[in-house]
Amino acid sequence: MRSLSGAKTLDVMRVRQDFPVLARETRKGVPLVYLDSAATAQKPRTVIDAMTNFYETQNANIHRGIHRLAEEATEAHEAARKRVADFIGAASSREIIFTRNTTESINLVVFSWGRSNLHSGDCILLTEMEHHSNSVPWMLLAEELGLRLEFVPITGEGLLDLEAYARLLELEPRMVGFTHMSNVLGTINPVKKMTEMAHEAGALVLIDGAQSVPHFAVDISDVGADFMAFSAHKMCGPTGIGVLYGREALLESMPPFLGGGDMIKRVSLREFKANDPPYKFEAGTPAIAEAIGFGAAIDYLDELGMDAVHAHEQQLIGYALERLAEVPGLQQYGPDAEKRGGVVAFTFNGIHPHDLAQILDDVGVAVRAGHHCAMPLHESLSIPATTRASFYIYNTIEEIDALIGGLHKAKGVFG
């Protein structure tokens, strides 16, 4: 296995040793080639150990207990919150709300901010490349309140049409929501410019950062968005915990999303007073071990360096696009390598993506097949589904070669 030339300081062979799952075989003699990190990333030993250590030495509920274990658990949980805030450049850890995932984070904005600020006829502006998590919640609220939904189209190159975006902003939307990086096309959108344009039009901005925060440096203070959502499990952390970043003044003005323990200051029989952010939005016992694992994942990525992570993935996607272009009958979707992250979706020779994924699995290559929770985007491309390969810090050139070999095998099977 050769290293990637010029991959800055990222030592891929060392990185691979940190991930226990990469040592397994999918069947006898067939090593795992994991190319599905856009769905969920694998976990390094340091994350697994951090969560195990919590359960073995500190397990207790947080915020309310005054015994030693409760105090240690609370301190570890809140330290993880500060790690998240620092990682994305938030002004304060009070702007970091722990949720279950990106989907819940977006739903929090929709049903807390949206219900209390939007009225019939108000416009919400989204894009054609959104994950269902950033469209379906708005559809639900639109049906409830009589909102108007508009969508920024994509170009033939797989980029957002910024001229159309400027025209749609003339509709004076109350909220503009867009993905930072498409989970299908890999397109990295110019979020700072789009945020500035939206603010000039009087709109707030919600960014889906699920595919960006794990893969390159994101400074929310520089981007200037009002809200951003992302998940731990796509950035080497555990499942079951995500983040909503929100500007503190906005969070203070929003009503609670869920009711129960820890989100209140005082309760009487007929009324309650909500807690301060972020706790106002964190009802019930949180994912304590998962938050600690999340903090360990951020420490791991920080040690690698996000510039090195991005450089590695840029070289992988550049090589992948070149090799895929050599395969007869294969159609790629999305922009050139310099305008996208480490994701490539494609169709191949009339073979259904599910069948293709099965053939690839036979040679140990794990990819994703389907619409990737982006059915409207596939409709705009006039295709029902795609096969998607996605790359991360532990992938190598040789694994891309294995993908290409699997495609040739599939061509032979299906003629």
Would you please indicate which residues are annotated as catalytic (active-site) residues?
Answer: 373
Q: What gap in Å lies between CA 243 and CA 227, rounded to an integer? A: 10
Q: What gap in Å lies between CA 186 and CA 157, rounded to an integer? A: 12
Residue ranges with strand state E in 78-200: 96-99, 123-127, 148-152, 175-179
Q: In this structure, which long-range contacts are made by residues 85-92, counting pairs with CB atoms below 8 Å and at least 24 apart in sequence?
A: 87/213, 87/298, 87/301, 87/302, 88/213, 88/218, 88/219, 88/220, 88/228, 88/245, 89/218, 89/219, 89/220, 89/221, 89/222, 90/220, 90/221, 90/245, 91/221, 91/248, 92/248
Q: What gap in Å lies between CA 375 and CA 385, rounded to an integer? A: 8
CB 367 within 8 A of CB 360: yes
Using CB atoms within 10 Å of the CB of residue 334, give its burial: 0 to 12 exposed, 13 to 18 middle, 19+ buried. Answer: buried
CA 59, 62, 67, 72 torsion-angle sign? positive
C-alpha neighbours within 13 Å on the C-beta side of residue 20: 6
Neighbours of 55 (CB within 10 A): 11
Beta-bridged to residue 133, according to DSSP, are none
CA 27, 32, 34, 40 torsion-angle sign? positive
In the chain, how many H helices and how many E strands?
A: 15, 17
Q: Which two tokens stand for residue 237?
A: 């952390």
Q: What gap in Å lies between CA 341 and CA 142, rounded to an integer? A: 32
Query: What secondary structure, in 3-state letters, does 258-277 show?
Result: CCCCCCEEEECCCCEEECCC
Please give the order of strands across the beta sheet that includes 343-348.
330-333, 343-348, 386-390, 368-370
Q: What gap in Å lies between CA 12 and CA 15, rounded to an integer? A: 5
Compute CA distances 143 → 44, 62, 127, 146, 151, whole Å: 43, 38, 18, 5, 16
